[in-house]
Amino acid sequence: MKNFNIVFAFIFIVFALVQYNDPDPYLWIPIYGYAALVCILNARMKYDYYGHLAAIVFCGVFATRLMLIKDGVLDWLKIYHAENIVESMKATKPYIEYTREFGGLLIIILVMIFNMIMYKKAGVK
């Protein structure tokens, strides 16, 4: 678990650093920074159930919003036929940015859930 959390802390720190040129870095740097902090604390054996739960709830609500808004993830799937999201972002294609953001939130949620399951199995409260 320690190595898993060190790897994901590094990944989330990198994600936070590349947000500097995002249209809304004030939102994404703290989100990825928080995920990195939770992973760092886990690696130092300072597991916090409520810290994980807060990340899951916040990211889950935000991801749901990104899925349902105009030009969100559902529109990307249905209207734009899951167009390639690794191309450069254009103002005419906001669904690319929303889908990428959704993916980042999903990664955070999965890491938090995995940690909660593993710590529960280990008997940590």
Residue range 27-60, pLDDT digits in tens: 999 999 999 999 999 999 999 999 999 999 999 9
pTM of the predicted structure, to 2 decimals: 0.90
What pLDDT digit, counting tens, does each position of 85-112 carry? 776 666 568 888 889 999 999 999 999 9
What pLDDT digit, counting tens, does each position of 52-81 carry? 999 999 999 999 999 999 988 888 888 888
Report, as an integer, the average pLDDT of 5-16.
97
> Cα–Cα distance between 46 and 64 in angstroms, integer?
29
- Sequence ranges of the domains in the chain: 2-121
Q: Higher-confidence residue: 44 or 21? A: 44
Q: Is 30 helix (H, G, I), strand (E, B) or coil?
A: helix
Average pLDDT over all residues of the chain: 91
DSSP label at 89? P
> Cα–Cα distance between 116 and 20 in angstroms, integer?
30
